[in-house]
Homo-oligomer: A and B are copies of this chain.
Amino acid sequence: MSKAGEHIFEVSSSCPRTWARAAMLTTPHGAVPTPAFTPVGTQATVKSLTPDELSALGAKIVLGNTYHLYLRPGIPLIAELGGLHRFMGWNGSLITDSGGYQVFSLARLRQVSDEGVLFRSHIDGSEHFFTPELAIQLQEALGADIIMAFDECPPYSDDFDAVRESMERTHRWAQRCQESQQRDQALYGIVQGGMFEELRRQSATFITSLGFDGYAIGGLSLGEPKDVTKQIVEETMPLLPKDKPRYLMGVGSPEDLIEGVSRGIDLFDSALPTRIARNGGLFTRKGRCIIRNARFRDWEGPIEDGCDCYTCGNFSAAYLHHLFKCEELLAYRLATLHNLRFVLRLMEEMRQHILDGTFSAFKDSFLGSYQPCDEEVRQAQRQKWMESRNTKFDQD
């Protein structure tokens, strides 16, 4: 039974040619027109930006990270100071993830049992134990509008039995999360099952049978080929109830957002747009450009003509190139503003095209001119990021 308070989800329009839909998700902190992208505020801040800037960019919902906030500054402290909204000065809607993903990908020396996960902090090596009950309790103390079930996030694997076992544990944990919930936040369940369509179907069937306020597809965008991601989403989607939000976790490149929306996804979150911005990778309608490249040294125009972001409205690409070359703090910020605005505008455009009945043509047109990162480049970048994740810039 849902314990969510003022949570409403209403679908207003569906695309006749794809599974895309436009809806309104209402939380105690306002309305979120969907499909929506959720910027990632890992440590109670979307890196380099103020809450005012996030609002001005068009963000309606932001994600905070239970694992990171548990380690620093500690969740009792945030609760004592009035909860995560107040702590970070964000008055819009807020999701917290359960910490599952970070425990399994960022922490060290973990031991998984049915009871929970033993892990060591990536910061100081201290030992901690997370259970589904604790993950809910921590998220209740943070007080976000939407909280996530605690799930096991195994790495990309072709071991069917191992993935099934992990999935079944995620299912048992999902029930325990529901049973331990005390507050009236919306609780979303997470479908797992790795890259196996059969397991994904089993997981979707089981998780939806429990009755959550929304459903996330987890365990994707972990380095698998993009066709596999699409296939898994397509297999899962028909099994999720139409009257609840569907959330694809960890997806945030422009092309993936479009593919996800066309497969019926309502919500996305990803640190990708902000992370690559800090590394000088900037989105344009033609694809990603690298602002440090010499061709931008004397580029008088903005990153992208016609872009309505603060950066493009005020600065030349040459200026941004200069800031990156000098490693100036303003570089990371201006780049982040541009990429987030690019992605948030893309969501707004997709929504409008769904409402206008022109989504399918928009999708073809966008993908026709947008050159995604080469798959090999993408894998190499991912590898580099995974290796550097303990540096201060990349702990998303």
Contacts and interface: CB of A to CB of B under 8 A. Distances in A.
Interface of A: 43-45, 47-51, 72-73, 77, 80-81, 87-89, 297-298, 300, 310, 314-316, 318-319, 321-323, 325-330, 332-334, 392
A87 B334 CA distance: 14
Contact of A81 (B80, B318, B327, B328): B318
Contacts of A77: 297-298, 318
A330 B49 contact: yes
B332 A43 contact: no
Nearest to A82: B300
A328 B45 contact: yes
Q: How many monomers of this protein are in the complex?
A: 2
A297 B325 CA distance: 35
B329 A333 contact: yes
A261 B240 CA distance: 70
Nearest to A314: B89
A330 B45 contact: yes
A88 B89 CA distance: 29
A328 B89 contact: no
A50 B297 contact: no
A89 B392 contact: no
Contact of A44 (B51, B89, B319, B392): B319
A310 B49 CA distance: 13
Contacts of A316: 81, 87
Contacts of A392: 326-328
A133 B80 CA distance: 62
B332 A73 contact: no
A73 B297 contact: yes
Contacts of A44: 319, 322
Contacts of A51: 314
A41 to B, nearest CB: 10
A6 to B, nearest CB: 25
Nearest to A336: B329
A48 B330 CA distance: 5
A43 B318 contact: no
* Top-4 shortest CB links A-B: A48-B329, A73-B322, A327-B392, A45-B330
Contacts of A73: 297, 318, 321-322, 325
B326 A329 contact: no
Nearest to A44: B322
A276 to B, nearest CB: 15
13 contacts: A43-B323, A43-B326, A44-B319, A45-B323, A45-B330, A47-B330, A49-B330, A50-B310, A81-B300, A81-B318, A89-B314, A89-B315, A329-B329
